[in-house]
Amino acid sequence: MEGTVRTVSQEAPMASSAIASAPKRQAHKRGDGEGSIDEFKPGLWRGRLMVGYAVDGKPDRRAVYGKTRAEVQRKVAELRRRASTGMLGDATAERQTVAAFLTRWLSTARGSLRPRTWQRYDEVTRLHLSPALGRQKLSALRPSDVQRLYADKLAAGLSPLTVRYLHAVLHRALNQAVRWADVPRNVADAVDPPAMAHTERRPPTASEVARLLDTAHAAGDDLATLWMVAVYTGCRLGELLGLTWPDIDLEAGTLTVRRALLAAAGGIPQFGDTKTQRSRRTISLPGEAVQALREHRQAQLGDRLRLGPEYAAYDLVFATRLGTPFLRRNILRSFKAALRRASLSEQVRVHDLRHAAATILRSAHVDLKTVSERLGHSSIRVTADVYQHAVSALDADAAMSVQRAIRGAG
């Protein structure tokens, strides 16, 4: 209506003025260790906490859940405590399973392990560790889980020695997990592997060794020379299988250890360093061993002539009829057959020929330094510790020698 004056309310500008003059609310940015708790959905509470920054530099936020606010408060407090004491692993790592971690560990460890060692680690992981523990989160693995694994394996018939090897592999893997900050501690540290009953293994005696060599030779055993060189030199099996003919000086009657055969995948030898630096050594051979090697060489040259270019050119001293390296399982099978022919216990191992060599040398009063050098031990102390039984027998002989010197023969 004309002439009507509109009255402007004073309330609106007053309200705007009040709003403008009110202090602005600052946005709250949570820092490390601060968190929040809310009812995520009916009957389920959630606590959220920023515990720092992940390896990639992104904020590391964690969430915990519970049926009550009080339960979530306790979980948040525990999360905060673990973060403040360095007991909280990386967020991504905490989600990985034990199987995923073991696969990653094996792939990175391959370059730093001897091929045979890596194969054994891989076998233990595939057959025992991953099937039993693989589906668990690495971050949730507990000592009780590991202890249960050992108990189950013993109940299934594995020997304490084998279970101790499982422990050694798992312990090494979890040590790497700690170094990678995937977990805060190695739970295997809190678990005792099964105890080993001390059983002193008796190596074959001199007369038993003689019977083994004689029956192998009489039967035309292809590996008769291997058994002979093993017992006369005390070499490890890998050292013997790694020998090539340039390592043998038949005129001088010596054998030089320069390498070891680690694996023979696809008939191709994989050589590696000897066990210790002192394992690289030259060893004198007795006449019988030299003659056996001469005959072995002639038989091998016959195979080479017969096969021509099909004979593998690895120049191995101990090889198959094709010149390829022996598989260890075939060596062990042949050794069992040699033991049966000699009426010896099949519990004797190829490695026991090395022990027999050392024991016979000590019994023959060969000095400890010479024995240690022939065996390629890292020190004389190792030789003394391993062959204490032979040292004790010599000590008894020494006592009788003193008596004879004082009292005369008797």
Q: What is the pLDDT of residue 91?
A: 56
Q: What is the CATH number of the domain that holds 346?
A: 1.10.443.10
257 and 155 together in one domain = no
138 and 180 together in one domain = yes
Q: What is the pLDDT of residue 87?
A: 61
Q: For residue 111, tell me if it sits in a domain.
A: yes
Q: What is the pLDDT of residues 92-137, one digit of tens each?
A: 556 789 999 999 999 999 888 888 789 899 999 999 999 999 999 9
Q: For residue 159, tell me if it sits in a domain.
A: yes
218 and 265 together in one domain = yes
99 and 40 together in one domain = no
231 and 316 together in one domain = yes
Q: What is the pLDDT of residue 6?
A: 41
Q: Is 409 helix (H, G, I), strand (E, B) or coil?
A: coil
255 and 276 together in one domain = yes
Q: For residue 315, tell me if it sits in a domain.
A: yes
Q: For residue 257, tell me if it sits in a domain.
A: yes
72 and 104 together in one domain = no
78 and 111 together in one domain = no
155 and 281 together in one domain = no
111 and 145 together in one domain = yes
Query: How far, in Å, are 49, 52, 77, 361 from residue 31 at the CA level?
Result: 9, 8, 15, 72
> Model's pTM, two decimal places?
0.61
Residue-number span of the structural domain to which 179 is assigned: 95-190
The DSSP letter of residue 6 is P
172 and 100 together in one domain = yes
On the question of pLDDT at 402 being above 80, the answer is no
Q: For residue 4, tell me if it sits in a domain.
A: no
Tell me the H-state helices in 110-205: 115-124, 130-133, 143-155, 160-179
Is 350 in contact with 234 (CB distance < 8 Å)?
A: no
| Number of domains observed in the structure of the chain | 3
Question: Comparing 209-218, 256-265, 271-280, which segment has the lowest mean pLDDT?
Answer: 271-280
173 and 213 together in one domain = no
